[in-house]
Amino acid sequence: MNDSNPLTDIPRVDLATLPTPLMPAERLSETVGAEIWIKRDDLTGLAMGGNKVRKLEFLLGDAKSQGCDVVITFGALQSNHARQTAAACAALGLECHLILTRSVPRNDSLYTSNGNFLLDELFGAEIHVCGNDDAAIADAINTVERMVAGNGRSARWIPPGGSEPIGALGYVAAGLELAAQAAQLEINVSEVFHASATGGTQSGLVLGLHLAGSPASVRGVAVYQSASDTRSAVSLLMSECVDLLGVKSPPESTIDVIDGHMGEGYGIPTDAMRNALSVFATTEGIALDPVYSGKAAGALLAAAEAGELDESTPTVFLHTGGNPGLFAYGRDILI
């Protein structure tokens, strides 16, 4: 293993356009009264970009190294992870199966046929839509297992969001990348805000910044489950990444998850999210998504309004992508 980069010997495929820009948001900063920079992981390139491409570089690198020719993963009907997995499999010549659940209470035609779902079809994935209960998911899994076994194929199963230790390595790499960019730009980042769901992004980012010797704290905004459950998921994944890489673990206290911004539930719009979409769009010309980055940006704006941001050092907002989801929600994203 290379001492300077613990990821050097891990199987990986090139899918993303890296490094993604770290850019000052001058008009947004003026609006909120604090120095904000944006890490543009919405610009990772593949399939309209997003954070999951970083994880898929390692997950599909692992699949290829094992000789797998089929990839199976899970997500909600408008899953960004599913869309990027479908595109990555198309680029690598792998068969892709998506098990998509009706986990968001929306049944309009925009939501059920547009946005990420439309792109899943475009990229040629085999789509299996099911209910959100355990029995329906189990039935879908059994169906896919029979299909794959009947064809004599070798499958790599990937959990929702790509949130397993190998997937989280994508954000270990991102943490190293962010620290290097900050050093090159000669800025001392105080903290990083981002949407936190199944834990892979936050666990990797915390570990990557720690390995880079960065003092920046990471504030994950719970958008999928409670803050306590999110924190547990992040803690477990980070521990498994540490074991996988054989490195020293950051203190448990570095796991910071913010509650109170999910609203009525996962994928359900909030007024704070709508306001954040408007603020980012009208100050920086940047579109956020309604499920993840929009709610995380709402938390960032609330922290700024409460005077909780360090005004003497930059705060980074990690834009995790998800913009195709805008077209599944239509005018419901507007104030």
The residues assigned a catalytic role are 79
3-class secondary structure per residue, the chain: CCCCCCCCCCCCCCCCCCCCCEEECHHHHHHHCCCEEEEEHHHCCHHHCCCHHHHHHHHHHHHHHCCCCEEEEEEECCCHHHHHHHHHHHHHCCEEEEEEECCCCCCCHHHHHCHHHHHHHHCCCEEEEECCCHHHHHHHHHHHHHHHHHCCCCEEEECHHHCCHHHHHHHHHHHHHHHHHHHHHCCCCCEEEEEECCCHHHHHHHHHHHHCCCCCEEEEEECCCCHHHHHHHHHHHHHHHHHHHCCCCCCHHHCEEECCCCCCCCCCCCHHHHHHHHHHHHHHCCCCCCCCHHHHHHHHHHHHHCCCCCCCCCEEEEECCCHHHHHHHHHHHCC
Neighbouring residues of 244: CB distance < 8 A, sequence distance ≥ 6: 165, 166, 169
Q: How far is CA 135 from the centre of its chain?
A: 27
